[in-house]
Structure formats: structure tokens, C-alpha cells
Structure 1
Amino acid sequence: MTNKVVVLGSLNVDTTLHIAQMPKPGETIRAMSKTNSAGGKGANQAVAAARSGAATSFIGQVGKDGNGQFMIDALKRDQINVDHIKVDDQDGTGSAVILLDENGQNSIMVYGGANQAMKPTIVADSEALIESSDILISEFETPQEVTLEAFKLAKKHGVTTILNPAPAAKLIDGLAEVVDLIVPNETESASLTEIEVNDQASMDANAEKFTKMGIKNLIITIGDRGAYYHTPAGSGFVPAFKVHAKDTTAAGDTFIGALSSEINKDFSNIKAALTYAQKASSITVQRLGALPSIPTAKEIANQYK
């Protein structure tokens, strides 16, 4: 069965500056090269879902500018439904500047633009789209108030919701109650629960805290170590696949998009879906850029026969 996935999220044009090492405060350094590519957490997640075979649609907003059309065209190339992307006359298309060092580590500065200008009313026109889907994903590069409205519609129609709380921020009132699965990294998880993630006991404590918030299903991604999962049926840890990372941009987004293409609505196959998502993100980190680095299902199958 092919999942029908809707992503509510951000659309950014990424400018990556390739540098030897991160600058110190007040230091001016030389960038060895510069690349531009389509990105944004929402776009990355949607492309990852689509390339893993999910029938994917997007709810978002761009500016009335060349970058906006660039982003729409980028999603169309992966057969993503863009009918629910609005054009904002006032704010420019979102953008990000990424500093990428020789070790593959990055620092990212994001301009929200049209992404942050989204209003909850944008969701009303997408109710039929949400109703017809299996999975709805959102993250925090767009306003939480918009996510809340979309997730309420999803729950009304029995659609499974996945929240990626990145960049880290406290959940607004009412959001936890409509989240089926939350997928933070260890830093974001600690920010939300105020419990540092450093061992099995602390991961279990994070899961308990999220359960008290009303979120029963959790995955914590822990970089090149792997990912922890917790559901009412059980918990565990799946190690990452060991590779040499060139660029960690979009690794987490690839994980979530690939996961959404495989996961059952009741999370009964969470360990298998998580393993597949780890395979996808392990390929992403071996390549440069955001969207260009995301693998297809065929590439994943060939890499891990």
C-alpha cells in the first residue's frame, strides 16, 4: 500500500557556503565555494516522502518572486501536488544560509518570509486534501497556530499526524492533544521535556514526559548513533548505519519523509519503518545539498540489498 502524505511546511531557497571551519566570533573567513538549491524542512520532507513512493501533497506559502516559482517547480519535478501552495504578495519566499565545514557539520540561519506569514485560515481550503490522506506532517518553520488548525482537521478525519518540533520551541496550548507521533532530535527533545538525552533511562524519561503531555508515540533521532522509539506497545533503539558524512543538511528531514512513506497508521511497523528511514538518511549525509541529496526508494534498495 502506498501512503498518501501531506506536508504542511516551509519552502526555502538554500544558499550553502562551503568553508574549511566554522568562524569564531568577529572572525572573517573565506568561503571556498557557494551553491544554491531548493530546501526548507517542509520541502525536504515532502521530497523524501515522494522519492520513497508516497503520493505526496504540499500545503505552504511562497512569495511573489522568482524564488517562489523556483520552489514550486522543484516540488513538481518530484510529482508533488502543489495546488495548495499560496502566493503571498507581501513577504518574500523563505531562504536559508548554510555554513558547511570540511567535516560535514553545518550551521544554518533561516529567513522565514512567506513561511512565517502563513495564517491558520490557509488550512480551510485544504480540508478535502487532508481528509483524503493517511499522514499529515508538520514542523516549526511555519507558525504553530497553522499546524494546530491542520492537525485538528486531520484528527476530525482519522488522519495520522506527525510533528517534527524543529527548530525547537515550546508547544502551544492544544497542539500536543492532536499529535500522534512526535519526532525530535535529542536537543529538541530535551528542550521540550527539560530532561537531557544521554542514555536509555533518560530516553525512557523523555517518553514518559511526552506521554504526560498527551503524545503517546515518540521517536528521538540521535545523529550518527541511531534512533530511539517508544509506543504503548514497547520501546527500543535502532542503531544508525555507519557512513562517512559529507553534509548533514536534510538528514533529519529525509528520515521523517522516508518514515512517513513506510509507517502504518497505527505505528505497528515502527521498527521496520524506522530502519528504512535510517537507510535513507545515511545516503543523504554522503551527498551535498538538501533536495539533491535525498535518495529514491530504488537507490535505498540498491545500497542496502
Structure 2
Amino acid sequence: MKTLDVAVLGIFVADLAFRAPRLPVMGETILGRGFAMGPGGKGSNQVIAAARAGGRAAIVTRVGADAFGDIARRAWAADGVDTGAVITDAEAPTGAAFIFVSTETGNNAIIVESGAAAKLSPADVAAAEATIAAAKVFVTQFEQPLETAMAGLATARRHGAVTVLNPAPALPVDDAIYALCDYVTPNETEAATLTGIAVETVADAERAATEIVRRGARNALITLGEKGALLHGADGTVHVPALKVEKVVDTTGAGDAFNAGFCVAIAEGRTPAEAVRFGCALAGLSVQKPGTAPSMPTRAEIERALAG
């Protein structure tokens, strides 16, 4: 019997977030309007969001034997994340991310250095097989090596898990990876990179989703920011509106919140369309708070948003 709802293969980085009206140009120094440091990395954000959303969640990753690695372990422990498949690397530092957040719009720009997690390998996936086998849903991204993501998807598929690929940051990939995916979940920019189809409207998203399915994925699920998300696959196409948000504070991590919510809902047996709505609720709640992992909502907050 499966003992985990979601297993996440991905990276942890310490987020170093700076708030300012704009980015400086080369050679320029400008004054910021806020700074925060906290847990980040797509994999870590997703596993924390899944745990807060009520899922039994585990992470497969590498961290360094340093202060940032300690931050990671404390963050996971606070939300009850299973860390049995976390490797401590004595030779490489824990990753870090520079995050610029616009004080004018809440939008962000990010530079990620994966650190120890850049060494995540298919051998690490094999060592974590018991954790992956215990999960109902498996999700990974492209912040660790591509061959490692493929090994994780193949292992999860072999053990009967629902497989989810969040292709971020977007990379040109061989179509072979799509055959391992029950759901591929890019945002508009990532979908355009994967397919060559510019995504500006819901209709554009459907064309891009059709192309991803043609390449071998069972379903394509494209997130569209304030326009919600579009799910396309063998069972048809559905567009789910975004949660209504009064004020966007920080969009960093919204995609991670969506993916985590979607995975938890699928693990709980909800229909794909219901799971998309659950994911949209997480994303909408997360953008109303600053930060990445710290902005992830609790199950009670999600239920209130869905009821409203």
C-alpha cells in the first residue's frame, strides 16, 4: 500500500530575495526596498506546499553540509516532510538563488545556482527507489540534470505512480521524456519554449497543449497566471479560471504552489479538473504573501478559498 501522497525529486536553494522598483543596469548600484532569506528551490517549494496542503510528502535531493543545508532541514522538519532520501554532500555547497521582486508589480526575475543538487544523479534516484515507490504521485522539474529527472519519472512509472513533469526552467528536450509523463505542467513561457508556439491566450495554450500531447504526454496542463490553467488530454479540454486575488504581492513560487496542490488533489482521488481548481487555489493564495515556501497556504486556508 502506498504510504506517501507525493514524492518530489528536485532541488533546495536558499532564496535571497531583494525588493526594488527595477533591476539595475550593468555597472549600476541601486537601493533596495526590502530583503529576505528563506527556503526555496522548485523541488523544496513543491514538497513544502504539498505538506501544508495536507499531503504526506517526501523529497529526494542533495544539500551541502553547511548553514544553508541546515536551513533546508529545519524548513522540511517544520512541515513534516519525509527526508529519508535527502543526501548530505560534504564536497559541494547547498544551492542559492538571487530573486528580484518588483515593488511596482510583484513580478520577479531569478538566478539559480543548484549547488550540491546539481550533482543529483540516476544513482541517487536508484538509492531513493523505496521512497518513490511509496508515493501515489511523483513530480520533478529541470533544475537538476535532465537524465536524473528522466530516471525519476521512469522509476515512478514502473511503480505505478502518477507522473508529473514541471518543465522549469524550460529546456529543449527529446520527445522520449514525454512518454514517461502523465501530466506535463509548463507555464506560458515554458510551453512556448517546448513547442515553439507563443502562448498569449487560452486558445494559444490549447494549441501548445495539443502539441505536447502529440509528442507523447498523456496530458498537458498549462498554467496561465491570472487567466488560470488549461488541461488538455485524451478526456478532452478544460479551462479553469484563476482564484480572484485582490492584490498581488509576490508571484515567486506560484507555479510551485499550483503543482503541489494539483499533485495532492490527484493523490486524494479528485478528478483532474477538480485537481486543477485545487492547484489554482494554492497559487492564488501564495501570490498574496511575500516569499516562496513561506507563502504556501495551509489546508484550512485552501478549503476556505474553495468554499468562497
> Residue type of the partner of 1:280?
L
Partner of 1:255: 258
**Residue 219 of structure 1 contacts residue 230 of structure 1 at CA under 8 Å; is this kept in 2?**
yes
**Residue 209 of structure 2 contacts residue 222 of structure 2 at CA under 8 Å; is this kept in 1?**
no
* Aligned-residue offset at 1:25: 4.3
Among 150, 170, 180, which residue is 1:178 paired with?
Answer: 180
Partner of 2:191: 189
Deviations 1:53-105 (A, max 9, x none): 11101100001111112101111111000010101122110100111111211
CA distance in 2, matches of 1:302, 1:199: 29
CA distance in 2, matches of 1:284, 1:173: 32
* Aligned-residue offset at 1:263: 1.5
CA distance in 2, matches of 1:73, 1:268: 31
Deviations 1:140-175 (A, max 9, x none): 111111111111111111111100000110224632
CA distance in 2, matches of 1:117, 1:275: 35
TM-score, normalization by structure 1: 0.95
Q: Secondary structure at the match of 2:110?
A: strand
**Residue 98 of structure 1 contacts residue 106 of structure 1 at CA under 8 Å; is this kept in 2?**
yes
* Aligned-residue offset at 1:288: 0.6
Partner of 1:299: 301
CA distance in 1, matches of 2:209, 2:301: 33
How many residues of Structure 1 are paired with residues of Structure 2 in the alignment?
A: 304
Q: Does residue 95 in structure 1 map to residue 96 in structure 2?
A: yes
CA distance in 1, matches of 2:34, 2:106: 14
Q: Does residue 245 in structure 1 map to residue 253 in structure 2?
A: no
**Residue 218 of structure 1 contacts residue 230 of structure 1 at CA under 8 Å; is this kept in 2?**
yes
Partner of 1:73: 74
**Residue 284 of structure 1 contacts residue 293 of structure 1 at CA under 8 Å; is this kept in 2?**
yes
Partner of 1:202: 204
Alignment of 1:110-189 (within 5 A): 110-172=112-174, 174-189=176-191
Deviations 1:91-126 (A, max 9, x none): 110100111111211111111111112121001111
Q: Secondary structure at the match of 1:175?
A: helix
Q: Does residue 285 in structure 1 map to residue 297 in structure 2?
A: no
> Residue type of the partner of 2:41?
G
Partner of 2:21: 20
CA distance in 1, matches of 2:68, 2:107: 26
Among all aligned residue pairs of Structure 1 and Structure 2, give the percentage whose two residues are the same amino acid: 35
> Residue type of the partner of 2:182?
D
Deviations 1:27-72 (A, max 9, x none): 3211122110011100110011111111101100001111112101
> Following superposition, which runs of at least 4 residues in structure 1 exceed 6 angstroms of deviation?
none
CA distance in 1, matches of 2:63, 2:151: 19
* Aligned-residue offset at 1:212: 2.1
Deviations 1:189-239 (A, max 9, x none): 010011111334422321221122110201100111111111211102111
Tell me the C-alpha RMSD between the 2 structures: 1.8
**Residue 17 of structure 1 contacts residue 33 of structure 1 at CA under 8 Å; is this kept in 2?**
yes
Partner of 1:52: 53
Partner of 1:8: 9
**Residue 230 of structure 2 contacts residue 237 of structure 2 at CA under 8 Å; is this kept in 1?**
yes
> Residue type of the partner of 1:158?
G
**Residue 3 of structure 1 contacts residue 262 of structure 1 at CA under 8 Å; is this kept in 2?**
no
Partner of 2:215: 213
CA distance in 1, matches of 2:15, 2:125: 26
CA distance in 2, matches of 1:289, 1:192: 28
**Residue 3 of structure 2 contacts residue 134 of structure 2 at CA under 8 Å; is this kept in 1?**
no
CA distance in 1, matches of 2:248, 2:126: 41
**Residue 206 of structure 2 contacts residue 230 of structure 2 at CA under 8 Å; is this kept in 1?**
no
Comparing 196-205 with 100-109, which one deviates more in the overlay? 196-205
CA distance in 1, matches of 2:89, 2:215: 35
TM-aligned CA distance change 1:33 to 1:137, over 3 Å: same
* Aligned-residue offset at 1:259: 0.9
**Residue 46 of structure 1 contacts residue 257 of structure 1 at CA under 8 Å; is this kept in 2?**
yes
CA distance in 2, matches of 1:261, 1:13: 24
TM-aligned CA distance change 1:298 to 1:286, over 3 Å: same
**Residue 59 of structure 2 contacts residue 81 of structure 2 at CA under 8 Å; is this kept in 1?**
yes
User: Structure 1: which 5+ runs fail to align?
Assistant: none
